Structure 1
Amino acid sequence: MKVTIAYIDEPPFGWTEDRTAIGADIDLAEVVLRAIGVTWIEHHPTTFSELLPGVETGRWDMNVPLFVTPDRANLVAFSVPVWAIGDGFLVRAGNPKALDSYASLAKRDDARLGIIAGQVQHDSARASGVRENQIAIFEHQAEAIDAVRSGAIDAYASTALGNRIMADRIKGSIFEAVEHKPETNGKRQEVPFGAFSFGKRNNDLRNAVNSQLRSYLGSPDHRARMAKFGLTRNEIDPVLAR
């Protein structure tokens, strides 16, 4: 049995090293797919904007986890959630414009934000008042990081965990990861969930993956594997209560 899984270059979730796909999401998929009897796993690197159209039209069988939204759920079928992670910024060291939330960036006319095309951070930024003329869209994470380095943008929005790992991996203290401060409007903070996605006609694979995920998530082996990539109980425990 062969399964092709698409992924994007976004440490610690997935990336290519020595022509091999690695990362927290890649590792989780490997364990789950092997457990349901898959003997051949093919990893397909792609761009974020191609993930949903690719799996929807059957160019591959499943995607690495991405945030679940109602619009996305209209296009693809999601697995049970596998992690819960809030947003953050990657900024230049010292955070010269003191950016610690979308709202703080929206207040500065001289601040520019980088976002990967199609990611949920675009909607989150706009909902907090960030204007379109403050936003630069990139196709690849590496392009956004280079823009932060050069000063073309002031912050790159992604997951707080991913930005923290990225800042740690880049030597020389060039960057700083900033976790977003909670909103002060009294509303309860909802941390978004991420899940694998499948074409809506691929129910057999999704059901088999879900069955294995329900028994595996939160296990000692799962926690140990995810810890190697920086995922802790903060990212794992919220999905176990669902």
Structure 2
Amino acid sequence: MKVRIAYLEEPPFYWTAEDRSVTGADIELAEVVLRAIGVSSIEHHLTSFEELLPGVQEGRWDMNVPIFVTAERAERVAFSVPVWALGDGFLLRHGNPKALTSYGSVAARNDARLGIVAGTVQLDSAKAAGVNESQVVAFRSQPDAIDALLAGKIDAYASTAVGSRVIANANPELEVVAHAMSKEGCAPVGAFSFSKSNADLLQAVNAQLRKYLGSADHRARMARYGLTQTELDSVSAA
């Protein structure tokens, strides 16, 4: 049994290593779960964020790496049980020259430019906080956004705080600011996604996820990529 899974270049969740192997927290989680349900071959497909949902809908691959679950996306694909809950953060040039600490702080400065990967939930969060569309620069991929940040074309890149920490730790020119938790105190959740016609694979993955999430092995594997109790506890009993 072979499963084709699409992924993006977004450490620490999924990326292509220097030896061309595909790695990351969610890649490892997918491998553990898929092997446990009898999958003998896993084929990785690198794609763009905007192609994730159309690709799995059209059968170009069988499942997607976890992304944030939204009602709009759930109309198009079937999501697994949640595998993490992540808050947003900004990746910025060292010193944070425009003192950007939240979407609201971007909205308050007409000269602030915010980088976002096209189609991600961060755009909705920015707009809800009053960020003007003219302040937003959309990119096809995370590496493109980081290159623009380093070149001074944008002032901040909005992504997950966990992902931004990993990038900042590897680049002394950058730093990260995690956003304050919402009043509800709940971070958005992420999950694998499948074609709605692929119910058998979804059910098998969900059954194994329910057994595995929150286990000692799961926590140890995720910790190696910087995911802690904060990101895992609220979904481990889903």
Distance 1:51 1:6 in 2: 7
Unaligned runs of 5+ in 1: none
Match of residue 202, structure 2, among 206, 209, 212 = 206
Which one-letter code corresponds to 2:14 in the other structure? G
Superimposed CA distance per residue, residues 153-189 of structure 1 (whole angstroms, 9 cap, x where no aligned partner): 000000000000111122xx10001101245xxx323
CA RMSD of aligned residues (A): 0.8
Cα offset for 1:241? 4.2
CA distance in structure 2 between the partners assigned to 1:153 and 1:142 by the alignment: 13
Correspondence 1:26-105 to 2 at 5 A? 26-105=27-106
Contact 2:213 2:237 in 1 (8 A): no
Q: Distance in 2 between matches of 1:241 and 1:20?
A: 31
Contact 2:8/2:48 (8 A) holds in 1: yes
Q: Within 5 Å, which residues of 2 pair with 1:151-170?
A: 151-170=152-171
Residue 22 of structure 2 is matched in structure 1 by 21
Letter in 2 for 1:2: K
CA distance in 2, matches of 1:58, 1:82: 23
Structure-2 residue corresponding to 1:181: 180
Code of the aligned partner of 2:133: E
Q: 2: distance between equivalents of 1:88 and 1:78? A: 24
Amino acid of the residue matched to residue 121 of structure 2?
V
Alpha-carbon distance in structure 2 between the residues aligned to 1:202 and 1:35 = 18
- Residue 123 (1) aligns with residue 119 (2): no
**Are the counterparts in 1 of residues 89 and 160 from structure 2 also a CA contact under 8 Å?**
yes
Q: What's the secondary structure of 1:239's corresponding residue?
A: coil
Q: Call closer, same or farther: CA 1:224–1:59 in 2, change over 3 Å.
A: same
Kindly report structure 1 stretches of 4+ aligned residues shifted beyond 4 Å: none
1:215 corresponds to which residue? Answer: 211
Question: Corresponding residue for 1:2?
Answer: 2
Gaps in structure 2 of 5+ consecutive residues: none
Equivalent residue letter for 1:233: Q
1:230 maps to a residue whose letter is: G
Name the CA distance, whole Å, in 2 between partners of 1:49 and 1:182. 27
Q: Counterpart of 1:227 in structure 2: which amino acid?
A: A
Q: Deviations over 1:137-160 (max 9, x none)?
A: 000111100111111100000000
* Cα distance in structure 1, aligned partners of 2:232 and 2:185: 17
Q: Which amino acid aligns with 2:61?
A: W
Partner of 2:38: helix, strand, or coil?
coil
Say which SS state the counterpart of residue 130 (structure 2) adopts. Answer: coil
User: Secondary structure of 2:219's partner?
Assistant: helix
Task: Note the C-alpha offset of 1:190.
Answer: 2.7
Would you say the 8 A contact 2:87–2:181 is kept in 1?
no
Contact 2:117 2:142 in 1 (8 A): yes
Aligned length: 237
TM-score with structure 2 length normalisation? 0.98
The answer to whether the aligner puts 1:224 opposite 2:223 as a matched pair is: no
Rounded to whole Å, the distance in 2 between the matches of 1:155 and 1:233 is 27
Which residue matches 1:238? Answer: 234
- Report SS of the residue matched to 2:202: helix
Query: In the aligned structure 2, how far is the partner of 1:234 from the partner of 1:188?
Result: 15
- TM-score normalised over the length of structure 1: 0.96
